[in-house]
């Protein structure tokens, strides 16, 4: 019988600020409610929304833990009532609304997925946030289809490395932007037809050239700012532009006339505030369409580095340095 302790180590945001406001603290172990499971966390993914929350710009939704962390992998140690698909001892990875930077986390059962074949906990913890985000934004909102083309900004990020692989394997032509020759090479190794070093080239001019003026069918953008106008210029007739973040800011002066002339769709979304039912729908799509690709080794998460839970501040420094390629993961003993 698994003994569940009363207390656990978790990472607290002591005050809004830089990475050093993240500190280990002792908290009570949470308990699962109906259709929830308690997971002994082995690894937790580190993501941009965690850093935004730490800085005071992205508060957790009502009812979510104040502890950061949107994805975990681990082993179930307790099952809440009305939970039918999971049992104590099962291993899983899962999307959370918060609470992942901890030794134990409560997971809504419908948001959990099994570990792909042969995966360790670090690999599994790198899956949920990026794969949920890419699937819903690229393939649902962006409606990317085989034979179409996509421009992925931030191609060497966790989101970018996931989107490049999925779009490429599912039959689309992929272009990506990244900030160094090393990062561009990594994007091309993952399946991008061409990666554009935005520090040395104008991505709009490159897309104009390589598509012979046709543009791309979908743009996935996490940059915003002056990219708004450039994305519109890069989009093909009936193109779809999907914004998921605004690293360069959410405000820009934009000429929207091409939006009308090209019949474009400009959309965007956030994942964290969605309901369990909405996230469950994405999880089902991933299990049906994406997990077979992971099981067969046709795609895989790119792991940049790992840090122990107590060094979450160092993990955030790595994230915000912009030097990483792929995912950063916290390991929990």
The secondary structure element, H or E, covering residue 292 is helix 291-295
Instruction: Identify whether the C-beta of residue 250 lies closer than 8 Å to the C-beta of residue 80.
Output: no
DSSP annotation of 310 reads G
pLDDT band at 240 (very low <50, low <70, confident <90, very high): very high
Average pLDDT score over the chain: 97
pLDDT band with cut points at 50, 70 and 90 for residue 304: very high
Q: Can you read off the two tokens belonging to residue 25?
A: 């603290």
Residue 170 has pLDDT above 90, yes or no: yes
SS (H, E, C) 246-279: CCCCCCCCCCCHHHHHCCCEEEECCCCCCCHHHH
% of residues, the chain, pLDDT over 90: 98
Domain 131-268 belongs to what architecture?
Answer: 3-Layer(aba) Sandwich (3.40)
Q: CB pairs under 8 A, 24+ apart, for 210-217?
A: 210/175, 211/149, 211/236, 215/239, 215/262, 216/149, 216/150, 216/151, 216/175, 217/144, 217/145, 217/148, 217/149, 217/150
Class of domain 7-127+272-331: alpha beta
List, for residues 176-233, the tens digit of each pLDDT value: 999 999 999 999 999 999 999 999 999 999 999 999 999 999 999 999 999 999 999 9
Stretch(es) of the chain classified as CATH 3.40.50.720: 131-268
In the chain, ranges of CATH 3.90.180.10 domains: 7-127+272-331
Residue 1's pLDDT is what? 65
């Amino acid at each position: 019988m698994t003994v569940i302790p009363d207390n656990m180590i978790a990472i607290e945001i002591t005050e809004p600020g830089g990475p050093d406001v993240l500190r280990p603290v002792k908290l009570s172990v949470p308990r699962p409610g109906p259709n929830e499971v308690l997971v002994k966390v082995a690894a937790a993914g580190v993501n941009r929304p965690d850093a935004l929350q730490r800085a005071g710009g992205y508060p957790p939704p009502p009812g979510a833990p104040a502890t950061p962390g949107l994805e975990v992998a681990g082993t179930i140690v307790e099952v809440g009532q009305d939970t039918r698909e999971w049992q104590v001892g099962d291993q899983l990875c899962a999307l959370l609304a918060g609470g992942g930077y901890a030794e134990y986390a409560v997971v809504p059962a419908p948001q959990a997925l099994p570990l792909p074949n042969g995966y360790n906990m670090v690999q599994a913890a790198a899956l949920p946030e990026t794969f949920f985000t890419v699937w819903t934004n690229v393939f649902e909102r962006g409606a990317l289809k085989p034979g179409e083309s996509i421009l992925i900004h931030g191609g060497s990020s966790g989101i970018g490395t996931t989107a490049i692989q999925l779009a490429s394997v599912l039959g689309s032509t992929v272009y990506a932007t990244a900030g160094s020759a090393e990062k561009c090479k990594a994007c091309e190794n993952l399946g991008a037809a061409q990666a554009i070093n935005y520090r040395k080239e104008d991505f709009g001019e490159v897309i104009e050239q390589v598509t012979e003026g046709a543009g791309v069918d979908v743009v996935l953008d996490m940059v915003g700012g002056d990219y708004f106008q450039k994305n519109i210029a890069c989009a093909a007739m009936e193109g779809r532009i999907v914004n998921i973040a605004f690293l360069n800011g959410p405000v820009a002066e934009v000429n929207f006339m091409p939006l009308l002339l090209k019949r474009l769709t400009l959309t965007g979304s956030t994942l964290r505030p969605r309901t369990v039912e909405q996230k469950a729908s994405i999880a089902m799509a991933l299990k049906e369409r994406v997990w077979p690709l992971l099981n067969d080794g046709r795609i895989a998460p790119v792991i940049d580095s790992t840090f122990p839970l107590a060094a979450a501040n160092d993990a955030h420094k790595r994230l915000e340095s912009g030097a990483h390629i792929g995912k950063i993961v916290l390991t929990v003993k």
